Structure formats: structure tokens, C-alpha cells
């Protein structure tokens, strides 16, 4: 069974195309929830994953691309049967949410 760290590792492959930083280190991922999917085909212990996230701004022109990256990256993992993205605006994203690794990469 997958765990949250494995999901976050996969999401580090998804980038905000404007900032050139992955979504995890940018601080856009607020939460990961997983549950078994009894309806999955094939029937091994596959999971449904819900990603709670935000964007840097409500008017983010890359929002569609970002959501598509999240869906495609997670659905490429055989143990995941379904991905839902829950876009939230609270708490509001600020640059303070950027990880230390992200700050180093951005030079701030």
C-alpha cells in the first residue's frame, strides 16, 4: 500500500511552469488522503487518492496544466485507481509556504 511520502515524492515531478519549482516545495500541496478502492479493476489493493491543494493566485493561467500534471503523474502509479484534486483557497498561499529546498533552488 502506498503512503503519503510516496505520493509527495511523485508530486515532486509536477512543476508550476511559471515558477519552475515543484508543487510540493512551492507549498501548494496542503494534504493527501488515501483510501482503498473496492471498485477498482483489476482488484488488487488499489487506492483512491485525494490531493488538497491551492494555487499561488486565483488567476493562475497555468491551473489547467498543473491539475493535469497531478492527475497524470498519480494515475501513472499502478496502485492508484482514482485521483481527485480539491482546490482550496484557505489558508491562502504565501511565499512563506516554500520549503527550505525550494528557497535554495530559487535563490531566496
Q: State the 10-residue block means of pLDDT for the chain, 108 residues long.
A: 94 94 97 90 84 95 95 95 96 95 92
Quick one: pLDDT at residue 39? Answer: 82
Number of domains making up the chain: 1
Q: Is residue 108 part of a domain?
A: no
Taken in order 74, 79, 84, 85, is the CA torsion positive or negative? negative
pLDDT given at position 45 = 77
Instruction: Say if residue 81 is exposed, middle or buried (CB neighbours under 10 Å; 0-12, 13-18, 19+).
Output: buried
Residue 82, in any domain of the structure: yes
Asked whether 49 and 80 are in contact (CB, 8 A), the reply is yes
What pLDDT shows up at residue 62? 93
CATH number at residue 32: 3.30.300.130
Enter the pTM of the model: 0.91
Q: Is residue 44 part of a domain?
A: yes
Range of the domain at 13: 4-94
Percentage of the chain with pLDDT > 90?
82
Q: For residue 25, how many other CB atoms are within 10 A of its CB? A: 23
pLDDT at 9 (0 to 100) = 97
38 domain-assigned = yes
DSSP 8-state symbol, 99: -
Amino acid at each position: 500500500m502506498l503512503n503519503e511520502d510516496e505520493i509527495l515524492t511523485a508530486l515532486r515531478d509536477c512543476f508550476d511552469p511559471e515558477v519552475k519549482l515543484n508543487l510540493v516545495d512551492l507549498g501548494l500541496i496542503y494534504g493527501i488522503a488515501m483510501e482503498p478502492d473496492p471498485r477498482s479493476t483489476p482488484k488488487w489493493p488499489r487506492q483512491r487518492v485525494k490531493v488538497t491543494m491551492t494555487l499561488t493566485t486565483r488567476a493562475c493561467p497555468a491551473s489547467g496544466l498543473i491539475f493535469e500534471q497531478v492527475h497524470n503523474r498519480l494515475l501513472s502509479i499502478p496502485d492508484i485507481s482514482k485521483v481527485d484534486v480539491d482546490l482550496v483557497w484557505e489558508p491562502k498561499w504565501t511565499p512563506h509556504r516554500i520549503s527550505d529546498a525550494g528557497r535554495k533552488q530559487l535563490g531566496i
